Amino acid sequence: MSVDGEESEFEYVGFWARVWASVIDSVLVLMIIEPLASWLSPRTFSFWSGDDWNVESLLVSRNAGAADWLISYVLPAVAVIAFWLTKQATPGKMAIGAKVVDARTGGPLTPGQSIGRYLGYFVSMFPCFLGLLWVAFDSRKQGWHDKLAGTVVIRPRKRGTEPVRFDRS
């Protein structure tokens, strides 16, 4: 990646690093959302329905109400968008040293870009996650959600590290 013939200090973040960041974010979201949702709407477990074994009852059920919907869907969306606007990254992206920036300027995202990027995840997931897998093949490592919102995920360029040397004396 170069700017006016100069080599950039940043690189695009690839597929596997972004997968790792997503795993970190997902675990953190579950650690926050699950206790809240369970407290507001306790789960019921029933492995047997009368005398008949019921496969459907193996699934954990929860009464879905407005509070459950807000905690499970709205709270994560607000949190992710707030992180993008204030830190330019979610905790998972921070852990890998990445930032989400405007693809044209390299600056912070606008609120519209952040909302568009979040909604773009649903577009990216719809056809068998093809829009997310796109990151692996795109030259700028953009998923469809990035392309729709005009964003890229970058991190400081990996500079060569000092090679390992052993003192053989």
- What is the pLDDT at residue 40? 73
**Residue 71 per-residue DSSP state:** I
Q: What are phi and psi of 117, to 5 degrees?
A: -65, -45
Distances (CA, A) of 60 to 16, 44, 141: 31, 7, 37
User: In a 10 Å sphere around its CB, with 0-12 CB exposed, 13-18 middle and 19+ buried, how is residue 137 labelled?
Assistant: exposed
- With a cut of 50, say whether residue 105 has pLDDT above it: yes
- pLDDT, tens digit, 9 for 90 and up, residues 57-80: 444 455 557 777 888 899 999 999
pTM: 0.78
Q: How confident is the model at residue 36 (pLDDT cuts 50, 70, 90)?
A: confident
For the cut 70, the answer to whether the pLDDT of residue 144 exceeds it is: yes
What percent of the chain is modeled with pLDDT above 90? 62
> pLDDT (tens digit, 9 = 90+) per residue, 2-35?
444 455 789 999 999 999 999 999 999 999 988 8
Structure tokens at 101: 């920036």
pLDDT at 35: 85
Report CA Rg, the chain. 21
Residue 71's closest CA among 123, 63, 115, 94?
63
